[in-house]
Amino acid sequence: MALTSYRDEIMHMNGYRCIACAESQAADFAGFLCPVCGGNLDVTYDYAAIARVVAAGFDDSRADLFRYAPLLPVRETDSAFPLRVGGTPLYEAPRLGKSLGLRNLYLKDDTVNPSASTKDRASAVVLRRAMDIGADVVSIASTGNAGSSLACLAASLGLRAVVFVPENAPAAKLTQGLSFGATVFAVRGSYDNAFDLCLAASDEFGWFNRSTGYNPFTREGKKTCAYEIWESLGGRVPDRVVVPAGDGNLLSGLWKGWCDLQAVGLIDRLPKIDCAQSDASAAICNTVRRIRDNGESNPEWSTVVVDEVNASTAADSISVDRPRDGLAAVKGVLQSGGEAVSVSDEAILAAIPEMARTTGVFAEPAAAAPWAVVKQLVRDDKIDADELVVCIVSGSGLKDIDSVKKTIGKPLLIDPTIDAIKEVG
Ligand SMILES: Cc1ncc(COP(=O)(O)O)c(C=O)c1O
Ligand SMILES: [Zn+2]
């Protein structure tokens, strides 16, 4: 997909830099991967110019993530995005925090995005980009949420979405994609098989590929989550942000968001970014631990190889063998001084009703992983009671009720009488 006509229309994006070898590309570079080493690309900006624009504040007339247009690789435009993406609430969670003695616990509730996951942030920015270059078919490989997200937002814009998911993706996510009118391919095999097929098919048919991590603009959408947390906290910076990780793109986005805010002079310190994974899908955590075990915190990035695993977690959204934005995520954890913690699937599933009962926020397994990890960090004495901790709740519990059903009771089946209620107590 040629991006050549785009250059002069981007206000502040000024190119790309490779996450691995740091080689730069101009803003009109047409590929998605580094031509030198094949690494993922990071979008770069003229931060000095942005600093001058945002010194006056962001656009208060916009409630969605395009409020942050000066920091995004999109044309600043008056035309509103048809659905509201971003602008999600940050809730204090005093009862949940109190259960562990934490006094400043917050949940960033990204379940209220249009397709009920944080993936909408990436889809919105990628679709805006796709429209700017005249693409009318967008493709994606997904564990489920990113596909339903792309299908949802593409429907709102009248674009065609082609979605590749592993055949065992949860029914709700498939049903969403189909309802939104996407072409959904359920691929016999894993997410990683779906990813490779999407890549090949997009090349073959000339589709604009939104696949997570591979497409550099996905990180640009996800980073807006950090901006919103910062604004919701009245300009304070959390001590740590706990992020569920599969491909690692949400995590690398959260890290970039805070770094952007610092680069334009809006904050003067950065939070730790903690990586939350399942023991059964811990490629990023394993890599961070290996690097730290070698006594390193800032290795020569071009030489770092991210681990691969045979993922098999019930938290299907973060079940990934080969994290497609793994290096950027590993960098985010190490550069921020965060923790990389994997927990059991049992701990992740138990976290769902714990969060739901004390906060009213219903998370799918992947989205409950950060709370399970916070519990582990408290057990390991790694969090102080007064730290300001934000857990990213990245997807709705309604997306995968089969998993949570295992951890909660059944309804009390009764005859329609008052006596029956009294009997069961
Ligand atoms: C609900 C949810 N949480 C977390 C993630 C992890 O995001 P990433 O794959 O960018 O690490 C995903 C990815 O599909 C997701 O759907
Ligand atoms: Zn490179």
Q: What angle do CA 395, 285, 297 make, to 5 degrees?
A: 125
6, pLDDT greater than 70: no
**Whether pLDDT at 425 is above 80:** no
Residues 43-66, mean pLDDT to the nearest whole number: 94
396 lines ligand 1 (CB under 6 A): no
Indicate the range of 189-203, 247-261, 333-347 predicted with least confidence.
Answer: 189-203
In a domain, 14, yes or no: no
Distance (Å) from CA 418 to ligand 1 centroid: 45
Residue 232, pLDDT score: 98
- Give me the domain span that covers residue 340: 90-115+218-405
In total, the chain counts a number of residues equal to 425
| 24 within 8 A of 197, measured Cβ to Cβ | no
244 in contact with ligand 1, CB cutoff 6 A: yes
Rounded Cα gap, residues 96 and 354, in angstroms: 8
Closest to 213 (Cα-Cα) out of 85, 316, 311, 329:
329
Q: What percent of the chain has pLDDT over 70?
A: 97
Please list all protein residues whose beta carbon sits less than 5 angstroms from ligand 2, which is an ion: 18, 20-21, 23, 34, 36-37, 39
- Find out whether the beta carbon of 243 lies less than 6 Å from any atom of ligand 1: no
Say which CATH number the domain at 384 has: 3.40.50.1100
Q: How far is CA 269 from the centre of its chain?
A: 22
| Ligand 1 centre distance from Cα of residue 339 (Å) | 18
What is the structure's pLDDT at 170? 87
Record the tokens describing residue 51, joined without a space: 């600093």
For residue 2, the model assigns a pLDDT of 35
Domains held by the chain: number:
1
> What pLDDT sits at residue 3?
35
In a domain, 319, yes or no: yes
Is the per-residue pLDDT at 5 higher than 90?
no
216: how many CB neighbours lie within 10 A of its CB?
Answer: 24
Q: From the CA of 365, how far away is ligand 1's center (Å)?
A: 10
Task: Tell me whether residue 391 is in a domain.
Answer: yes
Average pLDDT over residues 1-25: 73
Condensed to tens digits (0 to 9), the pLDDT of residues 112-127 reads 999 999 999 999 999 9
- C-alpha 284 – ligand 2 centre gap (Å): 20
Q: What is the structure's pLDDT at 333?
A: 98
| Residue partners of 395: CB distance under 8 A and separation at least 6 | 110, 111, 116, 117, 118, 119, 145, 317, 363, 364, 366, 367
Tokens of 301: 């990035």
CA of 4 to the centre of ligand 2 (A): 21
Q: Tell me, what's the pLDDT at 403?
A: 87
Average pLDDT over residues 248-252: 98
In a domain, 38, yes or no: no
Over the chain, what is the mean pLDDT?
94
Amino acid 76: pLDDT? 63
Domain for residue 379, yes or no?
A: yes
Q: Is residue 375 part of a domain?
A: yes
Residue 123 has φ and ψ, to the nearest 5°, of -60, -40
Backbone angles phi, psi at 173, to 5 degrees: -70, -40
User: Closest Cα partner for 204 from 167, 162, 174, 169?
Assistant: 162
Question: Which ligand lies nearest the alpha carbon of 317?
Answer: 1
Instruction: Say whether pLDDT at 8 is over 60.
Output: no
3-state SS, residue 58: coil
Q: Looking at the domain assignment, is residue 334 inside a domain?
A: yes
Half-sphere exposure of 412 (CA within 13 A, CB side): 10
pLDDT of res. 78: 56
Average pLDDT over residues 364-370: 97
pLDDT digit string (tens) for 302-324?
Answer: 999 999 999 999 999 999 999 99
Q: Which two tokens stand for residue 261?
A: 């805010």
What's the pLDDT band for 77 if we cut at 50, 70, 90?
low
Strands (E), 232-271: 240-244
pLDDT at position 36: 98
Ligand in closest contact with the CA of 215? 1
- pLDDT tens figures, 324-358: 999 999 999 999 999 999 999 999 999 999 999 99
In-domain check, residue 167: no
